[in-house]
A and B are shown apart, each in its own frame.
Chain A
Amino acid sequence: MEHYNMNLTLKVWRQKSSKEQGRFETYQVSDISSEMSFLEMIDVLNERLIKEGKDPIAFDHDCREGICGACSMYINGRPHGPWQANTTCQLHMRAYKDGDTIVVEPWRANSFPVIKDLVVDRTAFDRIVQAGGYISVNTGNAVDANAMLIEKDKADAAFAAAACIGCGACVAACKNSSAMLFLSAKVSHLALLPQGEPERKSRVLNMVQQMDKEGFGSCTFTEACEAVCPKEISVTNISRLNKEYIIAGLTEEK
């Protein structure tokens, strides 16, 4: 692949804190290599801002290899930018060409309030997990791992759902700011496995209740979430969640 350099116009959301009004700032960046990652391009801009005595752009990022789920930029109207099945940190500048304008915003959702610039508060996700996203087993002498046979297809499906990185792109993409894809991934992961059976009903009921309490919107099945999910979590998980929820609601005896 041929490498090239480019000059770009960036429009970035700047907001000093959750209490203050935000606004877009425009920056010109030059000589950006097509080999750079998107976040390295922001690094270059930040280095310049620091030299100029200005406040650098705050953004969440950590592993920079697409797995920790920290990075969260809404790029040109799409969470994590233009590439399919990708996180912001894995996006590389060869996705752009000289002269492009790129608009960068934080995740937009009432349940993810802005902390600063592009950094948002996603602790609502942790609270949803606290409501039941686990199997209640203490550390100790668990039975031999091979004592329980699990069909490969089921194990693979559970794994595919468990691949969720909790980044929140699904919420950001949804016009209703629904967290159903995130929630359904966890419910599916655990409902597909025999270990998850004992708490299957209470789990789904409690987690949905917590999701509602956090103020996430309802699901109208636009599938925007699946389209932007960096781990390609399927909306069939939402169907499974609905099934689990209905059955639990009808049959739970509490």
Chain B
Amino acid sequence: MLNSKIPAGQLDLKWTDYKGHCKLVNPANKRKLEVIIVGTGLAGASAAASLGELGYKVKAFCFQDSPRRAHSIAAQGGINAAKNYQNDGDSVFRLFYDTIKGGDYRAREANVHRLAEVSANIIDQCVAQGVPLAREYGGLLSNRSFGGTQVQRTFYAAGQTGQQLLIGAYQALERQVALGNVTMYTRHEMLDVVLIKDKDKAGNEVGEAKCRGIVVRNLITGELERHFGHAVLLCSGGYGNVFYLSTNAMGSNVTAAWKAHRKGAYFGNPCYTQIHPTCIPVSGDHQSKLTLMSESLRNDGRIWVPKKQGDNRKPNEIPEEERDYYLERRYPAFGNLVPRDVASRAAKERCDAGYGVGSSKQAVYLDYANAIERYGKIECGKLGISNPSAEVIRKHGLDVVKEKYGNLFDMYEKITGENPYEVPMRIYPAVHYTMGGLWVDYELMTTVPGLYALGEANFSDHGANRLGASALMQGLADGYFVIPYTIGNYLADEISTKAISLDHPEFVKTEKDVRDRIEKLMNIKGSQSVESFHKRLGKIMWDKCGMARNEKGLQEAIVEIQQLKKEFWSDVRIPGGISEMNPELDKANRVADFIELGELMCKDALNRKESCGGHFREESQTDEGEAARNDAQFSYVSAWEFKGESDWQLHPEALNFEVAKPTQRSYK
């Protein structure tokens, strides 16, 4: 039976009450307790730094060559916080409510409220660390608005917010490394968790097995290593790369979470994937990844397609009255700032109906001509230029747009070879974020005692759709402000647990299982590359479990994935050896897990016969083609238990809304 451990009491007092009553570990005992952290993005680095500061003995692992390379670094737009610096009506409650609503009422109220509560502390903490967030001339912090909200609560550092926040957390982490509180293992990949039961005084095993360590592969030498921890934190990010093409980094993978899942950690809402509306379209079969253009571009850019199907004119040749600003038309209240899921589906709808642009016709325009003119006029007003010519207005407008979005425009030009100051950008939705992840309770613990999941790796805060600028907030909330409290509540009962020998039979067995699997993979010696399997998996997932899903497609996908899995395990070719740096072997390990995950995602999508957030079931839509949620039947979190190959059991966790009463979302 799932126990989400949500504290009793009034919603806005739960976290305060929890903090006032959770168990504490005294400093002398903290020194004896070891914590393993897998992944060093915002969640992992902030947790490692904070737990190291508290005095725990921390070991942190990342597969990259430095913790600073984790993919949080690529987040562009910003981080939300309920500071209400702009006096525009924001509050903790508003941020909570927007997040619950934006998540289409599929997130837990208590978790989301806590997130909103600590959001303001995050900004304070980051500024104290020296994170150079954008400022106004008066020296105060600057804010902007982001999709799905009507207040300006997003803090940012040009288009590099993730980078600056991660560097802040990375520096805090490296400081703890220097102080000897954190040991950092770079180019190490976790390949399994080790579960061990406690023993009573008589030496008999008692209770549920607890997570007591991990087995990792040193990616330089290929050696396997065993590491003990009183608790293990998985901060290993999301699984968007199951689609092959996504905005995730090439190395982003599900392996750590998947190994935990196979060892007993339930997987929550695997089908909830965020397809981000503003990415650079696919250019050809060679494509290895997709690039996001920050959602902040929707603040000033206008999205349109021609009113005529198959219009092949250049965008600048299409007059104003022949353009369809379809988001402004369909959703006048929010316009171009509708949440991501709504914007993505609207783009797909137009392209599927034959109005797409560019050579592939799988793209829509994001146009800045209007913003350049608007800003130009404001600047001319400020400078006291009366009756400015169109040219002067444009010049001043360009300066403003360059200052605000210059690095994004440059990135677009590098990739496409087109100048977005002159020609509208072409954009199309792409896989970006996964709301699903390991199921965790209020304390961020999975269904395996002592095993935690933080950040994108867990499922807990974004429901079926994440709002822009909320991922950075959640990663840092979990690492800086939640886990330092909740882990104490568990470790307080572990102070007499001695470090378990790495020769314990469970360590030996787990390492052997990992070794056997690697040898099995290497011995297949088939004919097809790992990459080719990954591409095929991605195509199945995108076509049948992507922006829109239906029963028939999902059933087909499951069969196709099972077939692909068989083929992978009989015909994959991995060059090189085991005891050396072997990126193809690393990839094979990851793709093998993605294949299994893909099947579960389709199974979850099939089970959820409603449309909600990023999960659009074609059978469940309103007469106007909007997503139709079904609260009567599906107001629950799907937590899946791994029972064996292709075999899962569903454990629904009912969602209770005491404060934010579910309504059909409307952005009209």
B121 within 8 A of A: yes
Chain A residues with CB below 8 A from B129, complex form: 134-135, 137, 195
CB distance from A59 to the nearest CB of B (A): 8
Which among A54, A66, A140, A196 is the interface contact of B411 at CB below 8 angstroms?
A66
A205 within 8 A of B: no
Knowing A50-B573, A56-B584, A115-B581, say if A37 contacts B132 (CB, 8 Å): no
Q: Which residue of A lies closest to B167 (CB)?
A: A162
Question: In the bound complex, what is the Cα–Cα distance between A123 and B484 (angstroms)?
Answer: 28
Chain B residues with CB below 8 A from A119, complex form: 581
Chain B residues with CB below 8 A from A156, complex form: 135
Q: Which residue of B lies closest to A51 (CB)?
A: B529
Q: Which residue of A lies closest to B175 (CB)?
A: A134
**Contact of B130 with A189 in the complex, beta carbons under 8 Å:** yes
**Contact of B74 with A139 in the complex, beta carbons under 8 Å:** no
Residues 380-413 of chain B: 1 if any A CB is under 8 Å from the residue's CB, otherwise 0? 0000000000000000000000000000001100
Which among A83, A141, A163, A189 is the interface contact of B121 at CB below 8 angstroms?
A141
B150 within 8 A of A: no
**Contact of A90 with B529 in the complex, beta carbons under 8 Å:** no
Chain A residues with CB below 8 A from B53, complex form: 138-139
Q: Which residue of B lies closest to A61 (CB)?
A: B250
Chain B residues with CB below 8 A from A130, complex form: 174-175, 177-178
**Contact of B575 with A151 in the complex, beta carbons under 8 Å:** no
**Contact of A90 with B415 in the complex, beta carbons under 8 Å:** yes
Residues 431-471 of chain B: 1 if any A CB is under 8 Å from the residue's CB, otherwise 0? 00000000000000000000000000000000000000000
CB under 8 Å from chain B, chain A span 59-117:
60-70, 83, 85-86, 90, 92, 94, 115-116
Question: In the bound complex, what is the Cα–Cα distance between A40 and B288 (angstroms)?
Answer: 6
Q: Which residue of A lies closest to B138 (CB)?
A: A149
**Contact of A115 with B220 in the complex, beta carbons under 8 Å:** yes
A interface residue count range (under 10 / 10 to 19 / 20 to 34 / 35 or more): 35 or more
**Contact of B130 with A196 in the complex, beta carbons under 8 Å:** yes
**Contact of B139 with A149 in the complex, beta carbons under 8 Å:** yes
Knowing A40-B287, A163-B160, say if A129 contacts B174 (CB, 8 Å): yes
Question: In the bound complex, what is the Cα–Cα distance between A68 and B73 (angstroms)?
Answer: 6
Question: In the bound complex, what is the Cα–Cα distance between A65 and B220 (angstroms)?
Answer: 25
Question: In the bound complex, what is the Cα–Cα distance between A60 and B417 (angstroms)?
Answer: 25
CB under 8 Å from chain A, chain B span 10-56:
46, 49-50, 53
**Contact of B139 with A60 in the complex, beta carbons under 8 Å:** no
CB distance from B118 to the nearest CB of A (A): 11
Chain A residues with CB below 8 A from B139, complex form: 149-152, 155
B172 within 8 A of A: yes
Q: Which residue of B lies closest to A125 (CB)?
A: B66
**Contact of A58 with B583 in the complex, beta carbons under 8 Å:** yes
**Contact of B220 with A62 in the complex, beta carbons under 8 Å:** no
Q: Chain B CB within 10 Å — which of A70, A141, A148 has the most?
A: A70
B183 within 8 A of A: no
**Contact of B132 with A189 in the complex, beta carbons under 8 Å:** yes
B580 within 8 A of A: yes
CB under 8 Å from chain B, chain A span 142-193:
142-146, 148-152, 155-156, 158-159, 162-163, 165-166, 189-190, 193
**Contact of B284 with A33 in the complex, beta carbons under 8 Å:** yes
Chain B residues with CB below 8 A from A49, complex form: 575
A21 within 8 A of B: no
Chain B residues with CB below 8 A from A54, complex form: 575
Knowing A67-B160, A123-B65, A125-B66, say if A40 contacts B71 (CB, 8 Å): no
Which among B186, B247, B575 is the interface contact of A123 at CB below 8 angstroms?
B186
Q: Chain B CB within 10 Å — which of A53, A56, A134 has the most?
A: A134
**Contact of A40 with B286 in the complex, beta carbons under 8 Å:** yes
Question: In the bound complex, what is the Cα–Cα distance between A142 and B124 (angstroms)?
Answer: 5
**Contact of B288 with A37 in the complex, beta carbons under 8 Å:** yes
Chain A residues with CB below 8 A from B177, complex form: 126, 130
Residues 166-201 of chain B: 1 if any A CB is under 8 Å from the residue's CB, otherwise 0? 010011101101100000101000000000000000
Question: In the bound complex, what is the Cα–Cα distance between A34 and B162 (angstroms)?
Answer: 30
Chain A residues with CB below 8 A from B284, complex form: 33, 35-36
Q: Number of A-B pairs whose CB atoms are under 8 Å? A: 219
B140 within 8 A of A: yes
Knowing A33-B284, A139-B484, say if A159 contacts B69 (CB, 8 Å): no
Knowing A69-B69, A142-B124, A195-B127, say if A63 contacts B171 (CB, 8 Å): no
Question: In the bound complex, what is the Cα–Cα distance between A1 and B359 (angstroms)?
Answer: 12
B272 within 8 A of A: no
Question: In the bound complex, what is the Cα–Cα distance between A51 and B528 (angstroms)?
Answer: 7
**Contact of B575 with A53 in the complex, beta carbons under 8 Å:** yes
Question: In the bound complex, what is the Cα–Cα distance between A40 and B157 (angstroms)?
Answer: 30
Chain A residues with CB below 8 A from B65, complex form: 60, 70, 121-123
Knowing A67-B74, A125-B66, A195-B127, say if A1 contacts B417 (CB, 8 Å): yes
Question: In the bound complex, what is the Cα–Cα distance between A94 and B414 (angstroms)?
Answer: 10
**Contact of A50 with B529 in the complex, beta carbons under 8 Å:** yes
**Contact of A63 with B130 in the complex, beta carbons under 8 Å:** no
Q: Chain B CB within 10 Å — which of A83, A140, A190 has the most?
A: A140
Residues 109-121 of chain B: 1 if any A CB is under 8 Å from the residue's CB, otherwise 0? 0000000000001
Residues 262-288 of chain B: 1 if any A CB is under 8 Å from the residue's CB, otherwise 0? 000000000000000000000110111
**Contact of A142 with B121 in the complex, beta carbons under 8 Å:** yes
Knowing A50-B584, A193-B130, A195-B128, say if A62 contacts B288 (CB, 8 Å): no
**Contact of B167 with A67 in the complex, beta carbons under 8 Å:** no
Q: Chain A CB within 10 Å — which of B121, B178, B584 has the most?
A: B178
Question: In the bound complex, what is the Cα–Cα distance between A76 and B289 (angstroms)?
Answer: 25
Which among A1, A134, A155 is the interface contact of B171 at CB below 8 angstroms?
A134
A44 within 8 A of B: yes
A131 within 8 A of B: yes
**Contact of B141 with A90 in the complex, beta carbons under 8 Å:** no
**Contact of B286 with A36 in the complex, beta carbons under 8 Å:** yes
Knowing A40-B286, A50-B529, A83-B414, say if A152 contacts B136 (CB, 8 Å): yes
A136 within 8 A of B: yes
A-B contact pairs, 20 of them (CB 8 A): A36-B284, A56-B583, A63-B249, A65-B292, A68-B73, A69-B68, A69-B69, A83-B414, A90-B411, A94-B417, A123-B186, A126-B177, A130-B174, A133-B174, A139-B53, A139-B480, A141-B124, A143-B128, A150-B139, A163-B163
User: With A47-B529, A64-B250, A92-B417 given, can you name 12 additional A-B contacts, CB distance below 8 Å?
Assistant: A35-B286, A62-B71, A64-B291, A67-B163, A92-B414, A130-B175, A139-B484, A142-B127, A143-B124, A146-B140, A148-B127, A150-B139
For the complex of A and B, 3 pairs with smallest distance between CB atoms: A149-B139, A134-B171, A142-B128
- A positions within 8 Å CB-CB of B: 1, 16-17, 33, 35-37, 39-40, 43-44, 47, 49-51, 53-56, 58, 60-70, 83, 85-86, 90, 92, 94, 115-116, 119, 121-123, 125-126, 129-131, 133-146, 148-152, 155-156, 158-159, 162-163, 165-166, 189-190, 193, 195-196
